[in-house]
Amino acid sequence: MLRMKPGQHQCLVFSLAMLLGESVETLLQEIGHSGEEVWWPGWSIPHSYRGIHIQEVIELCLKRSYTLTPIEMTPVSGCAKEPGNYRPIYEDGAERFYRLVQGRRGIMISSNHAVAWDGRIIWDPNGRLYELHNFTPRECWLLDGPSKE
């Protein structure tokens, strides 16, 4: 398991590295930045950081013939005439979410953290393994592509 150092804020790229079996250094070199550059100096760390964007992760995956498919915990639809008026498109979005991610690998994202998901267990870049019920996902980006076997 790859583990971030205390104070390191690169959970998205660490999660991808664990899923792909590649080094974080290789992925960051391809991205061209560490994500830890200060873009918003008025905010505290890590909120001041540029971060790694999911689009940068998608590009890394596509270069390797992988795809990432987003699955949202609570997908909503909004009214174009009433901004902010959203309605869930499923009655039980959580049940659907857990059914779709079970047995599939991907990157789980909460409101402030990303972890690798092997289809059964969370691989947290903070150095822990745990079950999905101990994480509060907002979305999962399912990884599909060449087998690493």
Q: Compare 1 and 25 and report the one with higher pLDDT.
A: 25
pTM of the model: 0.90
Q: Where are the domains of the chain?
A: 11-144
Give 63-78 pLDDT, tens digit per residue: 999 999 999 999 999 9
HEC string of the chain? CCCCCCCCCCHHHHHHHHHHCCCHHHHHHHHCCCCCCECCCCCCCCCCECCCCHHHHHHHHHHCCCEEEEEECCCEEECCCCCCCEEECCCCHHHHHHHHHCCCCEEEECCCCEEEECCCEEEECCCEEEEHHHCCCCEEEEEECCCCC
> Which CATH architecture best describes the domain 11-144?
Alpha-Beta Complex (3.90)
Give 126-139 pLDDT, tens digit per residue: 999 999 999 999 99
